Amino acid sequence: MISEIAFSAIRISTPLIFAALGGLLTFQAGILNIALDGFMIVAAFASIGVAFATESLLLGVLAGVASSMVLAALLALFNLRFRAHIFIAGIAVTFMAYGLTALLLKGVLNEEGVFSSDRIPTFAPIDIPVIRDIPVIGALISGHTLLVYIAYLCVPVVAWCLYRTRWGLRVRVVGEAEDAAAAAGVNVERLKFETMLLSGLFCGLAGAYLSLGYVSLFAKQMTNERGLIALAAIFFAKGNPYWTAAVALLFGTATALSIRLPQLTGLAPQLLQLIPYVVTVLSLIIVGIRNTRARHRHGVWRFEI
């Protein structure tokens, strides 16, 4: 039973990890990207639409990623070129994405709230030889679909890019001291644009996984504020990729528990569905306490990203 919950926690955490990696890159560059949900919902819709039309998973995922990156470019355009406040621009882009997908759901697929079809191909579970046979862990790690593995493998890749490459150093300096980077001749705008595009890339994968890898259906607003939960994970881990992924996994585990516990305990499912949100709020309270402790100050309120 426990291993079953753990297995589904790994699966459920996958879109959170993708989204968190996306949000983390902009976070490191000093942009609070609250449009993660918008990116994901567009990707989820484009993925399932294209997969339905072409019966190709690859094309579906690519369409999802591409659409999400287009939206990211649009947000970057609003924020970097037209100087719209990132918060307002992010909300606008998210609402636009919700509205657009709902409209296309009705207009193109002629469905009201949910779209699903037998024609949509599904990802096959991958059995990893050798690892499969390791006791306990083998059953947890083996047998997931491709995107799950990609998500977890992306964590060290992102960490390497951030902490070991020239690009990463520049991104982190831009996030901490933008004028220092500008004065050193770093093209701040371009770096921010790049992190925003990568944010789109990762959210694209998250969205594709939501509609194609997770359930094979599209529902209105199906991201369920996963983007905001991913942001909470990023804040909690202060943008460190490994810790962010770990916190995302914690949130995923909380969700897995909230799904399984009603059967086990007989408690009202509505009550247990609160678990992931309670965990999120608790973690944000911890962040808040940690910040005020460090400050030893009163009378000064600052909103720090």
Binding residues (CB under 8 A) for another protein: these are: 164-170, 172-173, 176-177, 179-187, 294-300
Contact between 78 and 18 under an 8 Å Cβ cutoff? The reply is: no
Instruction: State the Cα–Cα distance between residues 141 and 120, nearest whole angstrom.
Output: 26
Q: How far is the CB of 239 from another protein (least distance, A)?
A: 12
CA–CA distance, 72 with 35 (Å, rounded to integer): 8
Based on CB atoms, which residue is closest to another protein, 3 or 165?
165
Q: Which is nearer to another protein, 100 or 169 (CB)?
A: 169
| CB-CB neighbours of 296 under 10 Å | 6
State which residue, 185 or 266, has the beta carbon closest to another protein: 185
* Smallest gap from residue 297 Cβ to another protein (A): 5
The full length of the chain comes to: 305
Contact 188, 24 (CB under 8 A): no
Buried (b) or exposed (e) across 157-179, using 16+ Cβ within 10 A? ebbebbeeeeebebbbbbbeebe
User: For another protein, which is the closer residue by CB, 134 or 184?
Assistant: 184
Burial group, residue 92, by CB count within 10 angstroms (0-12, 13-18, 19+) = middle
Q: Is 268 or 300 the residue whose CB approaches another protein more closely? A: 300
**What's the closest the beta carbon of residue 187 comes to another protein, in angstroms?**
7
DSSP E strand stretches across 48-141: 114-115
- Picking from 80, 104, 107, 74, the residue whose alpha carbon sits closest to that of residue 92 is 74
* Smallest separation, CB 165 to another protein (Å): 6
Q: How far is the CB of 37 from another protein (least distance, A)?
A: 30
Least distance CB 132 / another protein (angstroms): 32
**Choice between 168 and 262, CB closer to another protein:** 168
Dist CA 183 CA 101 (whole Å): 42
